[in-house]
Amino acid sequence: MKKAVYPGTFDPLTFGHLDIIKRAAKMVDELHVVIADNYKKTPTFSIEERILMIKRVTTDIENIVIVYSNDLVVRYAKDHGIKLIVRGLRNIQDYENEYALYQFNRNINRTVETCILFPSSRNHFVSSSAIKELIVHHADISPYVPRENIDLVQNKIRSKSDE
């Protein structure tokens, strides 16, 4: 069985993330979508909310597993018999970060490979931080966030910005 892991903070989930999830799921028998926190970021959404956001829009994808892990993704992969990490790459800054991460992962476990997927042209500039900024300024996020999650995302971010 071919398995892969697609990690991210998904804070919130965007169409860019969903694009990668759908395409990666077609490449493997089982795709683990792993919510993995980044120590440099303070998540806006709880783990449960992020899992819910992903579940709401992936009901038609039968071969995914949605989980949270606070361990290194490369260790999660090893512990679950996964040999492939899928990453999205939008721009040159992502490239620099992903290249360094790839080297660290290879030093930890040489049996796990990394596959880069580029987002579709309409998603290459979308980021979770940009979504948050748009919401704070009452701009339309419907081109960037699945409609099933818009109310949750707007309400949470607006309530945090009011604090």
- The CATH number covering residue 145 comes to 3.40.50.620
Q: Which of 154, 77, 159, 60 is nearest to 111 (CA)?
A: 77
Which among 75, 80, 90, 124 is annotated as catalytic?
90
pTM: predicted TM-score of the whole model, two decimal places: 0.92
Residue 17 annotated among the catalytic residues of the structure:
yes
DSSP 27: H
Could you give the number of structural domains in the chain?
A: 1
Instruction: Please indicate whether residue 24 or residue 119 has the higher confidence score (pLDDT).
Output: 24
Which among 41, 122, 158, 160 is annotated as catalytic?
41
Q: In the predicted model, is pLDDT for residue 163 greater than 70?
A: no
Which among 50, 69, 128, 132 is annotated as catalytic?
128
Q: Are 35 and 154 in contact (CB under 8 A)?
A: no
Q: What is the pLDDT of residues 48-66, one digit of tens each?
A: 999 999 999 999 999 999 9
Q: Which of 130, 161, 158 is nearest to 145 (CA)?
A: 130
Q: What is the pLDDT of residues 116-140, one digit of tens each?
A: 998 877 766 788 888 999 999 999 9
Euclidean distance between CA atoms 122 and 102, whole angstroms: 26
Instruction: Give the 3-state secondary structure of residue 16.
Output: helix
| Domain region containing 29 | 3-161
Residue 90 annotated among the catalytic residues of the structure:
yes
